[in-house]
Structures are given as C-alpha cells and as structure tokens.
C-alpha cells in the first residue's frame, strides 16, 4: 500500500490503547500513538467504537501475562460478534509480551492480527495495513540503537500537570530473575539534545513535574556526539560491581540531570527506575543542591541477604547496600527512600528472609513494591537455579515483609504531624469530592479539604485575596494526621516551587510515607 493510500485508509479507523504494567509501557503507548496519529489514525477510549485495539503488555511476572491472556479472550469474543455487524476489529499485542511469546500468541490466539515488540513501533502503520489486508503481521526484532529520539510522544495524562520523559531503553545488568534484557534488549541512551527539547516543550505547555524514565535510568550514557566521548570509565557506588565491562566515555546521568533541572526552576524533576550501583557522590550532591530535584530516591534492594543477592547477580552485598544508604542520608538529610523486594527467590532460607525483614526495619523506606518470586523463561535463574521455595512459603514471607513495611510507615509518617509540606495538587480525592489530593517532594500522597486559600506572597507582602485550588497548583499544607498510606492536613496558601524553598524549614523533607504495592505470582 502506498503512503498516500495508507494515510487515507488510516483516517477512517479509530484505535484504542489498553496499557498494562510499568510506566515504561505508558511511555511506549505515547510513542506508538504519536506514530499512528501522524499517519491519520483517530484515537478512542471506547473499545466498542474502535477498529483497532492495541494492548501494550508486560511480562515481568506470570500474573501480568495471565491478565493479558484473559483480556485477549474477551476481545476475540467481541471480534467474532463484530464480524456479523460492522467493520472487523483488528487486535494487536505490543511490548514485552509480544517479544517473549510471539509464537504462542500467533498460534494460540488465531484472531490476533498484529504483534510489535518494544523496538518495532515505527513499523506499526505497515503492520496494521497488512492486517487490514487480511493477514497476520509481526515485527519483534530487538534493536541495539532504537531510542525513538525523533518521535515526540503524545502525552495523554488526564491531569496534564505531570509527564514522563524516556531517556534510555533496555538493560545490561542481567539480574538472574529478570526478563527485561530479553524483552527490551540492551541499554542504549537517547541523545541529550532530544531529551532537553522535549522537556522544554513540556515546560512551555505548563507541565509542573517531569519524571525521567528508563529501565536503569541512572546508567544513562550518551555517546551521540564526539565531544561526549572520552576514555574515562563511569563511576559506580562504592562496593558495587557489574556483570559487564565498564564502558568509558559518554555524557552521564549527573550531566543530564544538571541540564534538565536548569530548564525550568519551577518544574519538579524525578527519575525512575535506578540501580543502586549508579549513585556516585556527584549525583547525590546535585540532588541536594537543586531545589527542584526531588529529595526522593528509589533504591531497589530486592533482598537483605548477601547470599540471595549473589544468587540474584545484583552486584553488591548487604553491607555495601547499607553503606550506600548511609552515604545518601549523609549527603541528602531527610531524603525519602523507596525500594523493591522479592520474597521466596530461589534458595532463599528462613534466615535470608529474616535478614530482609531487618534491612527494611533498619533503612525505613517510604514506599515498598513487594512481590512473590515468579520464575521467567530465558532468565539466568530459569537455566541455572531451582524455584524451590513453596508458593505458600512465598506468600507467608510476602505478608511478613508487608507487615514490617506498614509498621515502619506508621512510625515515619507520624513524625510529619505538625510539619508544613509543599504539595503539587493532582486533583480530586478518589474517596471524597470534598477533598483534594497531591504529592509532596518525597512522593507522598497528601489529602486535604477543598477550599479557597490565600495567594502566594509577593514583593510587597502577602496576597490577602483567596482563590480556589486547582490541579497543577503548588500549595503549602499543614499535616494534621498520618497513616501508612497517606497524610492528611489543611491547605495554608498557594505557593511556588522557588518560593517554598525559602519559606519551608530544613525539616520539610523529614519523615516520609511508607506505602506498599503488593502483587502475588
């Protein structure tokens, strides 16, 4: 089909995206939509109106894949009914599951029309044209170079105040439990110029918070320009190592974070998901010095046992991890820490589990993402280790980890009562239309009554006029109560990011929320 024919063909079709899994998949959806939009496709959120339904999928755990299989059964039943009434529906699977289960998807789901891996979104218009011609179409080839640097994502956040900006793709760490290197390929970084351009555009659109995104975001290394290349290897956290040879040269994460934070002092900067090995002091010092870089670090531990960490091929011991935690807290007082943990990994003993519990108690994270281990094909663990911890033991240990997180959460959050927090307002609280909610610097959910408050101070004094609080506003909130999931208080006044940096006391980041995301196998 020629280009002009393809565009005319696309204009008559509506596409519906359903996104599952991590924030990288949300970003992939924005990239895929940007590509299809330029070819004339229309977008709908109603599956009943869609001619094309694309599932952006996750393979990180068995439960995530089962969710997709169940949804495919529903869609194929809908497709069969559609054949008798109107234009046929085309169904596509994008992302990690498309790459991992390509043969099974095409053979098991006979009504599946399109498969596109994470590096094949540019090919979507062609794949869909083939599918509309009556044939199955797939492209799941992984690339050593694709970063979609020249594709400007169409951000589809309903609030519009925050956005995620992808800075790198893939992962080289090869942790023994992880499927990511096999579904998303090797690490490659997006050119810094492309990233800065996107952040500039988001700033001009009024976005108040940007999160830099990558599978191993702080291993960012841009070698797109000759001036960035040198023979110096990148620095690792003290006591950490990699399974691959250190690569010299390139513009590193600290350089990128520095440049991004200077674009708009009124825009919050976050990043996820990092690896503990890539936190040299220069990154930590920058986070401390820049008021618009959030004092919140995700520090995935996975286990508190050195024995299990070695089996996981994490590249550090319990002692090295705790030394890093101490260094972070020394350089960034009051920092908020979150983490990931896996219960019941191959060979994990009861003593190993107790060491993980003690690590959680000692570090006092603000947020925890905890999962029972789910073995994935292709991984090092699948080929070399035994999934020998019974399912009921995994679940019992998972519950104990969650309980420990919540106990520490209650203690930590109670320390915030009486403090004033800077909150970026997200919108109406899910539980009450009378309340608003937002997040503080440490990514803590803060809930407060909907009311008019005073404007922010000016050069001539405090603005005595009151005005409503809207999504995207910065407000100061006095904390009055706390639990393991959220903080509650009342709004004092409107403010700005720069103004709050001078008005809030040094303890504005002290004590943060601990909430727990729990997922089984």
The predicted model gives 479-502 an average pLDDT of 89
pLDDT at 383: 96
Indicate if the pLDDT at residue 515 is higher than 60: no
Q: How confident is the model at residue 318 (pLDDT cuts 50, 70, 90)?
A: very high
The predicted model gives 359-368 an average pLDDT of 91
Q: How confident is the model at residue 236 (pLDDT cuts 50, 70, 90)?
A: confident
pLDDT at 109: 62
CA distance 388 to 324: 31
Q: How confident is the model at residue 227 (pLDDT cuts 50, 70, 90)?
A: low
Q: How confident is the model at residue 518 (pLDDT cuts 50, 70, 90)?
A: very low
- Find residue 211's DSSP bridge partners: 164, 270
CA dihedral 487, 493, 497, 500 (to 10 degrees): -90
CA distance 423 to 438: 6
**H-run or E-run covering 309:** helix 306-312
User: Which DSSP string corresponds to 313-374?
Assistant: T-S--HHHHHHHHHHHHHHSTT-EEEEEEEES-TT--HHHHHHHHHHHHHH--SEEEEEE--
pLDDT at 510: 42
pLDDT at 520: 37
pLDDT at 460: 57
Q: How confident is the model at residue 503 (pLDDT cuts 50, 70, 90)?
A: low
Alpha-carbon distances, residue 244 vs 123, 221, 314, 385 (angstroms): 31, 15, 12, 21
Residues 6+ apart with CB under 8 A from 367: 338, 339, 443, 513, 514, 515, 516, 517
Long-range contacts of 418-421 (CB under 8 A, 24+ apart): 418/478, 418/479, 419/478, 419/479, 419/507, 419/508, 419/510, 419/511, 420/476, 420/477, 420/478, 420/479, 420/492, 420/504, 420/505, 420/508, 421/446, 421/476, 421/477, 421/479, 421/487, 421/489, 421/508
Residues 6+ apart with CB under 8 A from 467: 452, 453, 455, 494
pLDDT at 12: 64
Residues 6+ apart with CB under 8 A from 318: 304, 305, 306, 309, 355, 359
pLDDT at 461: 56
Among 93, 128, 115, smallest CA distance to 18 is for 93
pLDDT at 475: 96
Q: How confident is the model at residue 330 (pLDDT cuts 50, 70, 90)?
A: very high
Give the model confidence (pLDDT) of 408-421 as tens digits: 888 888 889 999 99
The predicted model gives 210-230 an average pLDDT of 84
Indicate if the pLDDT at residue 193 is higher than 60: yes
Give the model confidence (pLDDT) of 29-59 as tens digits: 999 999 999 999 999 999 989 999 999 998 8
- Find residue 336's DSSP bridge partners: 296
pLDDT at 519: 42
pLDDT at 508: 42
For residues 99 and 143, the answer to whether their CB atoms sit within 8 Å is no
Give the model confidence (pLDDT) of 63-117 as tens digits: 888 899 999 989 988 888 887 666 688 999 999 888 788 778 877 767 689 999 9
CA distance 178 to 171: 10
The predicted model gives 377-397 an average pLDDT of 96
Residues 6+ apart with CB under 8 A from 323: 238, 239
What's this model's pTM, rounded to 2 decimal places?
A: 0.88
The DSSP symbol for 378 reads T
Indicate if the pLDDT at residue 517 is higher than 50: no
- Find residue 316's DSSP bridge partners: none
CA distance 13 to 50: 7
For residues 257 and 282, the answer to whether their CB atoms sit within 8 Å is no
User: Which DSSP string corresponds to 132-148?
Assistant: HTT--EEE----SS---
- End-to-end CA, the chain: 44
pLDDT at 521: 32
- 3-class secondary-structure state, position 518: strand
pLDDT at 307: 98
Q: Which residue has the higher pLDDT, 26 or 108?
A: 26
pLDDT at 230: 57
- Mean of all residue pLDDT scores within the chain: 88
Backbone phi, then psi, for 267, in 5-degree steps?
Answer: -110, 125
Indicate if the pLDDT at residue 228 is higher than 70: no
The predicted model gives 432-443 an average pLDDT of 93
**HEC readout, 466-506:** EECCCCCCEEEEEEEEECCCCEEEEEEEEECHHHHHHHCCH
Q: Which residue has the higher pLDDT, 138 or 229?
A: 138
Most confident of 171-175, 303-307, 367-371, 444-448: 303-307
Q: How confident is the model at residue 239 (pLDDT cuts 50, 70, 90)?
A: confident
- Find residue 293's DSSP bridge partners: 269
CA distance 292 to 261: 7
**H-run or E-run covering 74:** helix 62-82
Q: How confident is the model at residue 244 (pLDDT cuts 50, 70, 90)?
A: confident
Indicate if the pLDDT at residue 464 is higher than 70: no
């Amino acid at each position: 089909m020629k280009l002009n024919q393809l565009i005319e063909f696309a204009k008559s079709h509506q596409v519906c995206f359903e996104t599952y899994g991590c924030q990288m998949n949300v970003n992939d959806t924005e990239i895929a939509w940007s590509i299809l939009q330029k070819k004339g496709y229309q977008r709908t959120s109603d599956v009943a109106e869609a001619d094309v339904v694309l599932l952006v999928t996750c393979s990180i755990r068995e439960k995530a894949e089962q969710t997709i299989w169940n949804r495919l059964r529903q869609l194929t039943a809908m497709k069969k009914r559609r054949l008798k009434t109107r234009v046929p529906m085309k169904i596509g699977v994008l992302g990690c599951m498309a790459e991992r289960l390509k043969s099974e998807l095409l053979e098991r789901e006979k009504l599946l029309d399109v498969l596109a891996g994470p590096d094949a979104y540019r090919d979507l218009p062609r794949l869909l044209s083939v599918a509309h011609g009556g044939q199955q179409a797939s492209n799941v080839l992984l690339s050593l170079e694709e970063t979609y640097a020249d594709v400007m994502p169409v951000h589809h956040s309903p609030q519009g105040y925050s956005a995620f900006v992808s800075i790198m793709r893939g992962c080289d760490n090869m942790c023994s439990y992880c499927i990511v290197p096999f579904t998303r390929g090797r690490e490659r970084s997006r050119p810094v110029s492309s990233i800065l351009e996107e952040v500039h555009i988001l700033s001009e659109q009024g976005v108040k918070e940007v999160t830099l995104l990558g599978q191993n975001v702080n291993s960012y290394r841009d070698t797109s320009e000759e001036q960035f290349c040198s023979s110096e290897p990148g620095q690792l956290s003290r006591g950490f190592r990699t399974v691959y040879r250190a690569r010299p040269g390139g513009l590193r994460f600290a350089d990128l974070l520095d440049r991004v934070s200077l674009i708009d002092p009124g825009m919050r900067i976050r990043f996820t998901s990092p690896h503990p090995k890539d936190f040299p002091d220069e990154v930590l010092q920058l986070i401390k010095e820049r008021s618009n870089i959030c004092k919140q670090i995700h520090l995935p531990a996975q286990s508190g046992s050195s024995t299990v960490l070695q089996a996981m091929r994490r590249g550090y011991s319990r002692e090295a991890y705790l030394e890093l935690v101490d260094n972070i807290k020394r350089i960034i007082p009051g920092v908020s820490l979150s983490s990931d943990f896996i219960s019941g990994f191959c060979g994990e003993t009861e003593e190993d589990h107790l060491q993980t519990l003690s690590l959680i108690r000692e570090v006092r994270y603000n947020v925890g993402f905890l999962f029972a281990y789910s073995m994935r094909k292709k991984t090092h663990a699948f080929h070399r280790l035994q999934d020998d911890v019974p399912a009921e033991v995994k679940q019992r240990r998972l519950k104990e980890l969650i309980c420990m997180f919540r106990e520490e959460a209650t203690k930590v959050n109670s320390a915030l009562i009486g403090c004033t927090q800077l909150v970026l307002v997200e919108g109406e609280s899910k539980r009450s239309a009378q309340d608003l909610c937002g997040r503080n610097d440490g990514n803590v959910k803060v809930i407060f009554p909907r009311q008019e408050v005073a404007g922010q101070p000016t050069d001539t004094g405090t603005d005595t006029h009151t005005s409503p609080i809207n999504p995207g506003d910065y407000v100061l909130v006095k904390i009055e109560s706390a639990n393991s999931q959220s903080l509650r208080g009342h709004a004092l006044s409107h403010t700005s990011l720069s103004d709050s940096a001078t008005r809030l006391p040094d303890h504005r980041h002290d004590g943060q929320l601990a909430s727990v995301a729990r997922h089984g196998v």
